[in-house]
Amino acid sequence: MADSFLCRLESRSVVEVAGPEASDFLDRMITQNTEVADGRSAAFGALLTPQGKIISDFLVVRQENGGFLLDAPAAGAAELRKRLTMFKLRAKVTIDAAPLVVYAGTGTPPAGGLVATDPRHPDLGWRLYAPEGAVATNADEAVWQGHRVALGVPEAGADLPLLDAFPHDLAMDSLHGINFDKGCYVGQEVVSRMRYRGTARRRPVMLSADRDLPPAGTEILVGGRVAGHLGSASGPRGVAVLRLDRVQEAMTTGETITVDGLPVSVALPAWADYGWPETPKPETSKPDD
């Protein structure tokens, strides 16, 4: 988007993890190291179930007092606090809902709050955390969502239900959300196995049509069969998480891909470091000796 904007994200909530052991505690729990949140840039990470499913993804923002803000989907914020509290045990941390709201924007951020760059994509902009009404906005959340969709950046909850997605499904490995060299965290074995065995089949793709796409959750059909559901949509563009092998097969054979009867084109995001599955070479018979 050429013009800068600033909007409040009603879909986000802030969880504060504070105390002298906040960093060590989070490092044992989440997919990214807190040291990545350096005061200028946020870190991107998630809390997983032992089975490797996303309880919530979030941006991790360092505070001057040594604590952290977790910028998470509002729909999963209560469950995030509950799960972190379950793992707290005797750690010297506090876990609370923060009395702050989330603003997002591009261009130069205003004064009046804690600012951190979104680490997932260089064009996503920044986040600002402040009390309600602390800064003046010039756009609504639909502008931000359209900006995100145009870049093809997925989000848990918006593009796949929470507790129904592995980090690889939402390309967290490509969007700086997983540290494969850090110590153990909840769900690490599953995430590492998916990486080293190459078993991640579902990946984010971008959809485009010649008119506005229907609402999120609409079935995506490939050759008349359900292949998934539309995630976020903004005008004629959208994001979905689909099995790449099935989409590639449809494009190779010329099968129509539709959303509510509307034909759509499918492409990988420009930032994707994953590709379409390699097509196995046909077996050839050996010549007679």
Q: Coil, strand, or helix at residue 213?
A: coil
Residue 282 confidence (pLDDT): 46
pLDDT averaged over consecutive 10-residue blocks of the chain (289 residues)?
84 97 96 95 97 97 95 96 93 96 96 95 97 94 97 95 95 96 90 85 95 95 88 97 91 91 96 82 44
CA angle 70, 72, 76 (to 5 degrees): 125
Q: Domain ranges for the chain, please list them.
A: 6-170, 201-267
CATH code given to domain 201-267: 2.40.30.110
Cβ atoms of residues 90 and 24 within 8 Å: no
Q: Coil, strand, or helix at residue 133?
A: coil
pTM value is 0.92
CATH code given to domain 6-170: 3.30.1360.120
